[in-house]
A and B are shown apart, each in its own frame.
Chain A
Amino acid sequence: SQQGEEDPQALSIQEGENATMNCSYKTSINNLQWYRQNSGRGLVHLILIRSNEREKHSGRLRVTLDTSKKSSSLLITASRAADTASYFCASRGSGYSTLTFGKGTMLLVSP
């Protein structure tokens, strides 16, 4: 299985603090993506990083990828209460056409 694992399973922080979530995967990948899910419904695509990239930024989001360690991290800076959600990493394995999702990190940002 390619399934990734997020760490931690749950994270609770105060508004204004940074939140860091980690993801590990098992096989070589073409790209890795992060998604956010509110209230257990549809997921929203946040950012995609390709296997030949090491870091990518989008607004308050910073994603890193270390293919030698088969791991990625998502950093949310200056968090807001509206960032409260579950965050999933998803990897597209080499030779595969679909994404494999981890079980997610539940982030709670308190005002």
Chain B
Amino acid sequence: GAGVSQSPSNKVTEKGKDVELRCDPISGHTALYWYRQSLGQGLEFLIYFQGNSAPDKSGLPSDRFSAERTGGSVSTLTIQRTQQEDSAVYLCASSPGEGDFYGYTFGSGTRLTVV
């Protein structure tokens, strides 16, 4: 597609349930990033995929969070046993690759509300 697509755009879930958030990056972009943004805050890095390399998971806040990227394209972020503090907008971005020339293209995000 022309842009980064995220689904769902909104998700309300009960505390303790698992959720899956999907990101479809721009075709041909080898780098994919997940960030989250709490109300009125900056972006918090979660995880980074680059090509076939092992992902950089250093930003995942707990072992309840995991992500995968299949076939170097679509990525799924999974949050198990959701907690109220997981409520945030989850943003996915992609870029043509690593380097000093590329900005990120962001999707519109998934707003997750844990009740």
Which residues of A approach B to under 8 Å, CB–CB?
3, 30-31, 33, 35, 40-45, 48, 50, 88, 90, 92, 97-104
Contact = CB atoms under 8 A, between A and B. Distances in A.
Nearest to B105: A45
Interface of B: 4, 33, 35, 37, 40-43, 45, 48, 50, 56, 59, 89, 91, 93, 98, 100-109
A41 B109 contact: yes
Contacts, number: 59
Contacts of B109: 41-42
Given A50-B100, A97-B50, A101-B35, A44 B42 contact: no
Given A45-B105, A97-B48, A100-B45, A40 B100 contact: no
Given A31-B100, A41-B109, A42-B108, A98 B48 contact: yes
B12 to A, nearest CB: 17
Contacts of B42: 3, 88, 101-104
Main secondary structure of the interface of A (DSSP, over half): strand
26 contacts: A30-B100, A31-B100, A35-B103, A40-B89, A41-B108, A41-B109, A42-B106, A42-B108, A42-B109, A43-B43, A43-B91, A43-B104, A43-B106, A45-B104, A45-B106, A50-B100, A88-B42, A88-B43, A98-B45, A98-B59, A99-B33, A99-B104, A101-B35, A101-B43, A103-B40, A103-B42
A31 B104 CA distance: 13
Contacts of B107: 42
Contacts of B93: 43
User: Which 8 residue pairs spanning A and B have beta carbons closest together?
Assistant: A45-B103, A101-B43, A103-B42, A42-B106, A42-B108, A43-B106, A101-B42, A41-B108
